[in-house]
Structures are given as structure tokens and as C-alpha cells.
Chain A
Amino acid sequence: MDQTISIALGLSPLVVVGVGALLLMLVEAFSKQRTGMAMGAAVVLFTAAVFATSLWLLGMENVEGVQSVAPWLILDRFTLFFDVLLCLGGGISALLAGGYLAEHHIERGEFYALLLFATFGAMMLAAAGDALTLFLGLETMSIGAYALTAFRRASPRAAEGALKYFLLGSFAAAILIYGFALLYGATGHTDLAGIGAAARGAHARTPLLIVGASLVLVGLAFKVSAVPFHMWTPDAYEGAPTPATTFMAVAVKAGAFAMLLRVLVLSLGDDAWRSWAAGWPPVVATLAALTMTVANLVAGRQESVKRMLAYSSIAHAGYALVGVTAIMREPTEATASVLYYLLAYTVSTAGAFGSLILCGSHGREAVSYDDLSGIGKRHPAVALAFSLFLVSLAGVPPTAGFFGKWYVFKSAIDAGLYWLAILGFVNSVIGAYYYLRVLVYMYMREPAAGAPVAVPMRSTYVTTALVVSAVLVLALGLAPTRSLDAASTAAIFGSAG
């Protein structure tokens, strides 16, 4: 086979999404047709996921010449896992948008093009093996996300959220790029593995290197919205239209975690950097502990369900960071746990936001707890779906969320991080409190007399998205063997380097 074709095959998920985004933009410009855009975006994303799955089954190592794009793009199973994950998250968000935007009369085609571009950026981020491509992917993803946040142009809330997001995101990107610049100064490399090779050993620990690594970590913490770098998240999540929130909570976060894992394993992955005494684990552990605890405590005090879910997504980033900390002892196993966690989190969170979308309709979006009063009685199917996703987020068996949490905490215990694991368990009890509160309102409260009640919308798009998520939540909870194996296969990268 011609090498070019074979490289194109290796890059096919990226190509499909990129070309799809351009095509969708053209369609938007030249066609009067609006209704099919969501379908188009979803088809593009799911096609890309199918391409990635085929490549997975074929085995990347059987595709000739894909190594030649390294270190710019690393095409391995880690990338493919994230491709599937991101396309899944993006696809569900696109389906949700199909129902939501039409219902609220803000259907404009550029939403889908932006969504696809942002997904493209996230996929590139997952594949990036060099600071340069990493930054390109990051900016592509972020700019798409900024625009999606501000999509509801007339709303001051959206503008406020988007501006905060944009400013803080730009700062974070600047800090990150500054960190990489310092790392380049210290090591003479921009590719992650090269930095890793040069940063190995105690003699390489120049102040420049340490400051650079710290700045990079801060930038990454911003992007995964770890406490105390999370301030932008609730406002951006609340201001954005809910499908965009879903996308940010799911795909943007997964992309950020892909970046974090790549950098920590490839560049800062040798024994000294991974040691508790002289490396990053105490820093990440502190971030994880703070993120879980603060986010859970604050989430319990929210009066808006959407804002509660925003804080809950921060808390879940904390749980995932527990798994990231565990890389200190068993890199592969811990990475696998983070990957699986992200998968479980993606389907549960997308489903939860989707259910929230489904609970409201034009002019009466379901936002606060009171809006959900009595939904369980009036619209049992919606309430049941919502409960399933919340139960999964709370980590109750037999759902995907339970296995995700279980696996992450297991790797923390295996790594000897008992205090962190116990803190995580205690946090999941706090988390259960506010997830259950939604159930309380849905099933056990009646709306106040005379208060306008939220009427669930009807949309095939949203229903499809929810069915897909619900099936995945249950499947990942009852028969997780396949996906667990996939996560552990995907987690093998760079540990030799």
C-alpha cells in the first residue's frame, strides 16, 4: 500500500471530522434547509467513531507508516480510544442540540460546524505528541467552545460566561505555552517524549525545568477545571445553551484529560518525576482532594440543577485526578482507570444534561429544582431516565458510574494512596446527597399550586440521545469486561520511553 494512503487511513477519524465540519459549514451557507444539520453532525461524528473502531480492530501497528507522523501526531490505541470517546460525546451533544435549538428557536447551522471543529481540536489534542500540535489542538478546541458558550447572543448571562471562559482560557493557554517555552529552553525539545528523555534523572533538574513543568501543570489544571482553577466553569456552563454545556462537560474535559495524561506520562513520566518525594504526585493529589471536596460541597448548595451539574462535573474531574495521581505506582493500570472513568462519566453526564433538556420546553426551560417538581408523576419515562443517569453519577451499582469510581479508587488503593481513596469515598456520599435531591423533587414533591410547571418537550433527537446513553450506562455497568479491556489496552503508551 502506498504510504500516503496508509497514513490517511491512520488519520481517517480526524479527516472525517475535519472534512465533515467544512462540508457542514458550506451546507449552512448555501442551503435553506435547517432541520437536517443535527443529523449531519451526528452522522459525521458517529462515522468517525466507526472509522476509529475499525482502526482499533485492524490494529494501528498493522497500518504502515503511521509512525512517520510522530511525534507531531501519535497514532496509537490511546488516540483511538479518545477518538471514540470524543465522537460519542460530541455526537450525543449534537443530537441534543438538534432537539434543544429547534425547541428554543435558536436553530442556526453554525452551532454544528463549531461543535465539529471543537471535536476535531479535542481529537487532535488526544493525538498530539508535540507541544506545537498540542497547542494547535487546544486552541481549535477552545475557540470552538468559547463560541458555543456565547451562542445565545442576546443573553447577557451567555456573554458573561463566554467572556469569563475566554479570558481565563486564554490566560491558561498562555501559561501553558510559556511553560512549554521554558521546557524547550531547558531541554531543547518541543516533542513530549524528547522533553521526557532530557528531563530524566536528578542532574537534569534545573530551576528552569522545574518552573516550566510547574507552569505546564497549572495550565493543564485550568483546562481540566481543577479547584482552585475552576472559577470559570460554573458561569460558562450555566450561560451556555445546555447542549453546548454537555459538550464542554464531556468532550472538552476528556480532551483536557488526554492532554494531561500524555504530558504526565511522556514528559514527566520517569521514576523520579513520578515519585512522591520529588515529583508531581503530591501536587496532583492535592488538586484531586481539593477538587472533589470543594466542588461537592458547593454543588450541594446550588439551587439550579444546571449549575449543580456543572459543579458535579468539576467533582468528577477530581475523581479522575485521583486516578491520575495513582500513575505514580502503576502507570498503565492507573491510566486505564482514568480512561474508563472518562467513558463512564461521558455517558452518564451526557445523559443527565440530556434529561434536563428533555424536562423543559419552549419558554419554560427546566433549570431549578422546583421546575422538576412532580415530573416523576407527570412524565415517568423522563424521570426514570434522569434517575438512571443521576444514580450512575452517584456511583451506585450496577451502573457505569459505579464501575468507573470503583476502578479509579481501586488503582488509588493499589498505589498506596489510602487517604485519597477514603476521601474519595466520603465525597461520593456527599455527592449522593445532591443527586438524590433531584430524585426527591422529581418523585416526592408536587409543584406549588398555581406555579407554572415545566412541560417536557418532544424530540426524536433528544430521545435517541438518551436511549443511546442509557443503554451504554447499563451495558458498561453490567458487562464492563470489553470496555475495561479496551481501556487497559489503550493505556499502554510511552511507559517504555
Chain B
Amino acid sequence: MSTAHTPPAPAQPDAPARFGTDHLVYVFLVAIFAWVAARFFDGGVPVVAAGLVAALVPRQHGRGVRIPLAIIAGLLALFVVRMWPEAEDAPFHPGGAESRHLLSWIVGLPIGGAAVVLLLPREATGALKGFTLTLMLATLALTIPLLAVPMGRGYHFDQDVVWLARFGIHYHVAVDGISLWLVLLTVFITPIAAYASFGSIEARMKDWCFSLLLLEAGMLGSFVALDLFLFYVFWELMLIPMYVMIGVWGGTNRIRSAIKFFLYTMFGSVLMLAAILYIAYQYAQASGGQPSFDYFELQRLMIPRHVQVWLWAAFTLAFIIKVPMFPVHTWLPDAHTEAPTAGSVILAAVMLKMGTYGYLRYSLGLFPEAATEFGTNLAGVAVLGGIVYAALCAWRQEDVKRLIAYSSVAHLGYVMLGIFALTQASLEGSVLQMVNHGISTGMLFLLFGVIYDRRHTRHIDAFGGLAKPMPVYATLFVVATLASVGLPGTNGFVGEFMVITGTFASNKLGHFNGLQAVGAAVGVILGAVYMLMVVQKMFFGPVVKKENRRLPDLTGRELLSLAPLAMMVFVIGLFPNVLLSQVKGAVTRVRNDYDARLDKNPAPRYYEGPIKLTPLRPEAPAAVAAAALQAQAAQAPGEGH
């Protein structure tokens, strides 16, 4: 079996004395892997994928690169096979109940790790790196059981513990089909970014590891929190590590960018905190006693227009600053330009999704009427200000990082447009596009980090003809570009296509949905223009600059961090159903909730009268826990104050 995928021996064995043992270990590991794959999983496909990738790795790289890449490829193939919607095999843990503590472990592991990092000695950079990476991979491993559960319409791995009884604050976490992929994206991207950064960052490794772990915990926590208070705590927890990352390890103008980033985000989030407090207070009034910050409880509030508009605005402002949408996007190019590579990757790949996810879950979930009324206008902003304007801005940039940052604004315009359009296809496309953008833009930033480490300039004219000295690098850059542009077969295509078709079919966008879909399609063309322009200027043509003539190609570390992303581009591009099958149910639920809420109210579509609670939906996971509470509320006299 192992002969099938044993690649030809590397051309230059580095140390002949160690060759024998190395070789043995290599064969042994591959054999074990092949045996495990064939014995427990679906045999052939992963092994073939692993062998293929191992053979494709450029010759100059040793086994240290080849083996991990083969394993990653095998695992990804396994992932596709197991997650295939029609797969009839038993899940990973047959009959295993959902663990109530799994999500807490996933969030808690990086936090605990951050605390341990504080105790490690500052000089032991090797131990710090190893520890951080191991912990992140352990977190990644912990998320695998999440995949074993078919998500359907519900929430899973629900854990609800009272935190502060006096204020009705709970520690409530769960995942559904939407947050599942964002959690996975986070645990997938963070170790890659960390690993890549260990090659380029040398100063203050301890602080760096601490920030990375805390950041990961904050992001994971925000995605799984279902208590608005808890969500806010995690939301703010992300802010400081990212601020420190930009400010300490960033470029020349880093301090200004870091402060700008912090103040923009904080301004939005304090208004959201005010709205959270207000809505909890209104809940206490309506239920006649206990306030609650629980998402499911607050979803039951019927809120009249004059209140709802303001609450929606406060939440939405916080989210569109984070996305970011025109006209509050100006912090993003600065932050991206100055951030270190890993910071840019995490910022673009995961943190921006916090805005789109937050809008989908909270603005739309809690205030559907206001979201309908203003969604139409915001969709126009997303198309004109986001997709088209940002694309034009990107076109004019001389600074490559700035260009990629503007392309982020444009790509997230699609995500927002899909959410505003609110059809099944567009919503699924939006969720998919969140993951896609994380992968392709994350990869672009990582790729640019590679050349930045060699040349220390971001100016596009400093490059040219790089394909000659760095062929592997150029290939991967083209792959990422095509994914970002949305070429069929890559991941970007599926998401954008679904969003655009969904927008055409939408009845939520007023009279202009056709026009908006056309605008989005124009954006695709513009995207191709500016991205291909970058590729052309950077990689093709003659090598003009003398410094570029002898640039070394990708190192093992760089290849190892980039290749998983490149594989994901094709995995999602060719097998989008693997993701969409899990997303579908959750999206259907979002739409049903939304329709049920809007059908209840008469023509102007706003509830009128004092704020009150609708009866609890029986399928909500909080229903059982809240039944006792509701019984108490029923005893309390009178609902309307």
C-alpha cells in the first residue's frame, strides 16, 4: 500500500548521516497513516489524495514539508468523503450523545493556554512556539466532533449555565449550521497564521503567543455565544489582542492605525451595549420580573417601530463598522496595511466575519421588521459603496496590501447583499462566501507576507516578473487570485454565484433587486480587472529590478502554511455541498423565523402597542429551561405596563 504513494526520494538529502533513520521514520509514518486510513475510514480516496500531494510537493523540500502536507491532504479528502451529504456511513461516534461541555473546551483551551504562556520563560521562544501551535491544533482536533452531528435546523452542543442570576445573565453557548463553519474557519486559519508568523516574527514572542491565543478564544467565544451579554464580553475580548498585534508588530505607521481600529470598533460596540441593556430592560418589563440576555428569549419580544428602529440601528452600526461597509470602512485599509502578516490574515479571514455574522444573527434575528425596512437601502449601499466603489478604490491602489484590503470590502459587500436579499440561495451563498473570503483573502495576505519578508516594500512597482525566480510562489498566488476573482472550480465562484442569483429572485429588495444583482455582477468583472492587474504587474513580464532576480522561492514553512489553504480553495470549489448541506437547515430556520414574525403583523408590518412577549417556540432549546421561568412569569400579575 505504501508503495503507491511513496514519492521519489528527495534530490538533495541534507545530512547523509541522518538519512537512514529519517527514511525509516518516514516510511513507518506513512505506513501507519495508510493503515489507519484504510482500516477505519473510507480507504482509497484519502490515501490517493495524500500520495498525490506528497508527489506534487516541489523537489527542494524535504520530508518535513512533504509528510505534513500529505497528511493534511488526506484529512481534507477524508473530510469531503465523510461530510458528503449522501454519505450513509455511521458518524464518527456512533450513537454518541452531544457533549454539553465540548464548546466550553473549545473556547476554554486557548484561554487556559494564554494563561500558561504567561508562566513560560520569555527566552524559551522555541517552547513558546511549540506550545502555542500544539494548543491551537488541539483546539482544531476538538472541533472535529462538531462535524459528526447533522446540524439540521437546530442548535447543537447547547450549554446553558447561570452566571449572574440577579441580572438573568447566562453562560449560554451553542452552534448551528451557520456558526459551525465560522468556528471551523477560526480554528483552521489561526494555527496557519500562527505557524506562518513564527517564521517572520522574532521580537517578543511571549507577548505574541499570548495575543494569538487570547484572540482565538475571543473569536470562538463570539461565534458560539447565545447570550447577548456573553457575546459582548467575547466581542470586546478580541479587541485588545488585535490592537496590540497591530500596534506592536505592525509597520511604520502602526500606532495611528491601531488606535483608529480600536476607537472605530469600540464606538460601535458601546452603542450596541446600550441597546443590549435597553432590550434586556424591556424584556424584564414585558415578562414582569427577571431580565434576560438570552438570544431565544429576546427573540420573543415584539417591539414597536419607534423603539425597534433605534435598537436595530445601534446593533447594525456596530456590525457594519466591523464588516466594514461604506462609509465606515476607512479603518480597514489602514489596519490591514500596518498589521503584521498574521494579524492581517486573522483580521481579514475571521474578525470581519464577526460583523456579517452578527448582522445575520442579531440584527436580523432580533429586529426583523426594522431589518426589512432598512435592508433595502443598505443593500444599495452594499452594492454601490461596497462592491463597486471598493473595487474601483482597489483598482487605484499602489500598495498591494491596501489593494487586498479594499478587495475585502468589496467581497464582504456580496455577503451583506446576500443577507439583505434574504432568499434561501442568497443566504446560503452568504454563509459560504464568509468562509470563502476567509480562505482566499487569508491566503492572499499570507502570500503577500512572503514577498514582504523578502523585499520589505508594499509598493506594486517594486515587483515584476517574479514568476521567473519564484515559480511555486507565483502558482499559489495565481490560485488565490482566481479564487478571489471567482473562477468556476474555485470556492469564490460558488458563493458569489449563489448570492447573485439569490438577489435576482429576491422580493425583499424593493424595485431594484435586478439592478442590484447587475451591480454585483459588474463587481465581479471589476474584481477580475484589479486582481489580474496585480498578478500581471507582479509576476509576468521581464524582471526589471535587480533585487528581484535572485529571490528564493517558498521555504518549507511558507509552503506548509499556504498549501492547506490552496487545497481548501478546491475542496470548497468542487464540493460546496459538503458545507452547504450543513448550512441549509440553519438558513431555512432563519427564514422561517423571519417569515413567521412578519406574517403576524398587519400591513405596515410593524407590531404596534406596548412591547410584549410572544409565546415560547417549543423547538427552541431554551424552551425546557425557560418553562419554569415562564411559569413564574405567568403568576406575576399583568403583562402590559
Cβ of B277 within 8 Å of any chain A Cβ, yes or no, is yes
In the bound assembly, the distance between CA atoms of A414 and B266 in angstroms comes to 23
In the bound assembly, the distance between CA atoms of A418 and B311 in angstroms comes to 12
Cβ of A438 within 8 Å of any chain B Cβ, yes or no, is no
**Interface size in chain B (residues, C-beta < 8 A):** 34
Q: A380-B206, A409-B273, A436-B262 are in contact. List 19 more A-B contacts (CB 8 A).
A: A396-B240, A397-B232, A409-B277, A413-B274, A413-B277, A418-B274, A422-B271, A422-B274, A425-B270, A426-B267, A432-B262, A433-B259, A440-B247, A440-B258, A444-B255, A444-B258, A445-B255, A481-B166, A485-B166
**Interface size in chain A (residues, C-beta < 8 A):** 35
Cβ of A458 within 8 Å of any chain B Cβ, yes or no, is no
Q: Which residues on A sit within 8 Å (CB–CB) of B72? A: none
Residue pairs across A and B with Cβ atoms less than 8 A apart, 7 shown, are: A406-B277, A410-B281, A436-B259, A440-B247, A443-B248, A444-B254, A444-B255
Given contacts A380-B122, A409-B274, A410-B277, contact A429 B165 (CB under 8 A): no
In the bound assembly, the distance between CA atoms of A294 and B239 in angstroms comes to 26
Q: Which residues on B sit within 8 Å (CB–CB) of A396? A: 236, 239-240
Cβ of A377 within 8 Å of any chain B Cβ, yes or no, is yes
Cβ of A282 within 8 Å of any chain B Cβ, yes or no, is no
Given contacts A413-B277, A440-B255, contact A429 B166 (CB under 8 A): no
Interface residues of B in 271-286 (CB under 8 A from A): 271, 273-274, 277-278, 281
In the bound assembly, the distance between CA atoms of A433 and B271 in angstroms comes to 16
Q: Which residues on A sit within 8 Å (CB–CB) of B266? A: 429, 432
Contact with A406, one of B206, B239, B258, B273 (Cβ below 8 angstroms):
B273
Cβ of A421 within 8 Å of any chain B Cβ, yes or no, is yes
Question: In the complex, how many angstroms separate the beta carbon of B345 from the nearest chain A beta carbon?
Answer: 21
Cβ of A391 within 8 Å of any chain B Cβ, yes or no, is yes
In the bound assembly, the distance between CA atoms of A300 and B274 in angstroms comes to 23
Question: In the complex, how many angstroms separate the beta carbon of A484 from the nearest chain B beta carbon?
Answer: 6
Contact with B along A375-400 (1 / 0, CB 8 A): 01100100010000001000011100
Question: In the complex, how many angstroms separate the beta carbon of A230 from the nearest chain B beta carbon?
Answer: 24
Tell me whether B237 and A480 are in contact (CB under 8 A): no
Cβ of B244 within 8 Å of any chain A Cβ, yes or no, is yes
Cβ of A245 within 8 Å of any chain B Cβ, yes or no, is no
In the bound assembly, the distance between CA atoms of A176 and B394 in angstroms comes to 64
Tell me whether B164 and A425 are in contact (CB under 8 A): no
Cβ of B454 within 8 Å of any chain A Cβ, yes or no, is no
Contact with B247, one of A409, A421, A429, A443 (Cβ below 8 angstroms):
A443
Given contacts A425-B273, A426-B270, A440-B258, contact A432 B244 (CB under 8 A): no
Tell me whether A484 and B277 are in contact (CB under 8 A): no
Closest 7 CB pairs of A and B: A425-B270, A397-B233, A444-B247, A429-B267, A410-B277, A413-B277, A425-B274
Cβ of B243 within 8 Å of any chain A Cβ, yes or no, is yes
In the bound assembly, the distance between CA atoms of A484 and B267 in angstroms comes to 27
Cβ of B263 within 8 Å of any chain A Cβ, yes or no, is yes
Cβ of B204 within 8 Å of any chain A Cβ, yes or no, is yes
Cβ of A47 within 8 Å of any chain B Cβ, yes or no, is no
Cβ of A346 within 8 Å of any chain B Cβ, yes or no, is no
Cβ of A79 within 8 Å of any chain B Cβ, yes or no, is no
Cβ of A119 within 8 Å of any chain B Cβ, yes or no, is no
Contact with B270, one of A414, A429, A484 (Cβ below 8 angstroms):
A429
Given contacts A380-B122, A444-B255, A481-B166, contact A432 B274 (CB under 8 A): no
Tell me whether A444 and B281 are in contact (CB under 8 A): no
In the bound assembly, the distance between CA atoms of A397 and B222 in angstroms comes to 13
Interface residues of B in 190-233 (CB under 8 A from A): 204, 206-207, 232-233
B interface list, Cβ under 8 A from A: 118, 122, 164-167, 204, 206-207, 232-233, 236-237, 239-240, 243-244, 247-248, 254-255, 258-259, 262-263, 266-267, 270-271, 273-274, 277-278, 281
Q: Looking at A432, A444, A480, which has the most chain B CB atoms within 10 Å of its CB?
A: A444
Tell me whether B233 and A398 are in contact (CB under 8 A): yes
Q: Which residues on B sit within 8 Å (CB–CB) of A418? A: 274, 278
In the bound assembly, the distance between CA atoms of A422 and B278 in angstroms comes to 11
Q: Which residues on A sit within 8 Å (CB–CB) of B262? A: 432, 436
Tell me whether A428 and B270 are in contact (CB under 8 A): yes
In the bound assembly, the distance between CA atoms of A443 and B244 in angstroms comes to 8
In the bound assembly, the distance between CA atoms of A413 and B283 in angstroms comes to 13
Q: Looking at B167, B243, B254, B274, which has the most chain A CB atoms within 10 Å of its CB?
A: B274
Q: Which residue of B lies closest to A394 (CB)?
A: B266
A interface list, Cβ under 8 A from B: 376-377, 380, 384, 391, 396-398, 402, 406, 409-410, 413-414, 418, 421-422, 425-426, 428-429, 432-433, 436-437, 439-440, 443-445, 480-481, 484-485, 488
In the bound assembly, the distance between CA atoms of A485 and B270 in angstroms comes to 25
Given contacts A396-B236, A414-B281, A432-B263, contact A484 B274 (CB under 8 A): no
Q: Which residue of A lies closest to B272 (CB)?
A: A425
Q: Which residue of B lies closest to A409 (CB)?
A: B277
Q: Looking at B232, B259, B266, B267, which has the most chain A CB atoms within 10 Å of its CB?
A: B266
Tell me whether A429 and B263 are in contact (CB under 8 A): yes
Question: In the complex, how many angstroms separate the beta carbon of B641 from the nearest chain A beta carbon?
Answer: 13
Q: Which residue of A lies closest to B285 (CB)?
A: A414
In the bound assembly, the distance between CA atoms of A421 and B270 in angstroms comes to 10
In the bound assembly, the distance between CA atoms of A444 and B166 in angstroms comes to 41
Q: Which residue of A lies closest to B166 (CB)?
A: A484
In the bound assembly, the distance between CA atoms of A133 and B273 in angstroms comes to 42
Tell me whether A480 and B164 are in contact (CB under 8 A): yes
In the bound assembly, the distance between CA atoms of A445 and B262 in angstroms comes to 18
Q: Which residue of A lies closest to B230 (CB)?
A: A397
Q: Which residues on B sit within 8 Å (CB–CB) of A422? A: 271, 274
Given contacts A397-B233, A413-B274, A440-B258, contact A433 B248 (CB under 8 A): no
In the bound assembly, the distance between CA atoms of A429 and B267 in angstroms comes to 6
Q: Which residue of A lies closest to B232 (CB)?
A: A397
Q: Which residues on B sit within 8 Å (CB–CB) of A397? A: 232-233, 236-237
In the bound assembly, the distance between CA atoms of A426 and B262 in angstroms comes to 14
Contact with B164, one of A402, A445, A481 (Cβ below 8 angstroms):
A481
In the bound assembly, the distance between CA atoms of A337 and B263 in angstroms comes to 26
In the bound assembly, the distance between CA atoms of A414 and B284 in angstroms comes to 10
Tell me whether A484 and B164 are in contact (CB under 8 A): yes
Q: Which residue of A lies closest to B264 (CB)?
A: A429
In the bound assembly, the distance between CA atoms of A437 and B258 in angstroms comes to 11
Tell me whether A433 and B263 are in contact (CB under 8 A): yes
Q: Which residues on B sit within 8 Å (CB–CB) of A406? A: 273, 277
Q: Which residues on A sit within 8 Å (CB–CB) of B206? A: 380
In the bound assembly, the distance between CA atoms of A341 and B299 in angstroms comes to 31
In the bound assembly, the distance between CA atoms of A168 and B259 in angstroms comes to 38
Q: Which residues on A sit within 8 Å (CB–CB) of B118? A: 384
Q: Which residues on A sit within 8 Å (CB–CB) of B244? A: 439, 443
Q: Which residues on B sit within 8 Å (CB–CB) of A376? A: 207
Q: Which residues on B sit within 8 Å (CB–CB) of A488? A: 166
In the bound assembly, the distance between CA atoms of A140 and B505 in angstroms comes to 77
In the bound assembly, the distance between CA atoms of A402 and B167 in angstroms comes to 15
Tell me whether A391 and B270 are in contact (CB under 8 A): no
Q: Which residue of A lies closest to B239 (CB)?
A: A396
Q: Which residues on A sit within 8 Å (CB–CB) of B248? A: 443-444
Q: Which residues on B sit within 8 Å (CB–CB) of A437? A: 259
Question: In the complex, how many angstroms separate the beta carbon of B160 from the nearest chain A beta carbon?
Answer: 17
Q: Which residues on A sit within 8 Å (CB–CB) of B259? A: 433, 436-437, 440
In the bound assembly, the distance between CA atoms of A421 and B267 in angstroms comes to 14
Q: Which residues on B sit within 8 Å (CB–CB) of A433? A: 259, 263
Question: In the complex, how many angstroms separate the beta carbon of A213 from the nearest chain B beta carbon?
Answer: 31
In the bound assembly, the distance between CA atoms of A443 and B271 in angstroms comes to 29
Given contacts A380-B122, A485-B166, contact A398 B258 (CB under 8 A): no
Tell me whether A377 and B204 are in contact (CB under 8 A): yes
Question: In the complex, how many angstroms separate the beta carbon of B119 from the nearest chain A beta carbon?
Answer: 12
In the bound assembly, the distance between CA atoms of A380 and B274 in angstroms comes to 35
Q: Which residue of B lies closest to A481 (CB)?
A: B164
In the bound assembly, the distance between CA atoms of A384 and B115 in angstroms comes to 13
Q: Which residue of A lies closest to B278 (CB)?
A: A413
Question: In the complex, how many angstroms separate the beta carbon of A122 from the nearest chain B beta carbon?
Answer: 28
In the bound assembly, the distance between CA atoms of A397 and B235 in angstroms comes to 9
Question: In the complex, how many angstroms separate the beta carbon of B288 from the nearest chain A beta carbon?
Answer: 15
Q: Which residues on B sit within 8 Å (CB–CB) of A428? A: 270
Question: In the complex, how many angstroms separate the beta carbon of B103 from the nearest chain A beta carbon?
Answer: 18
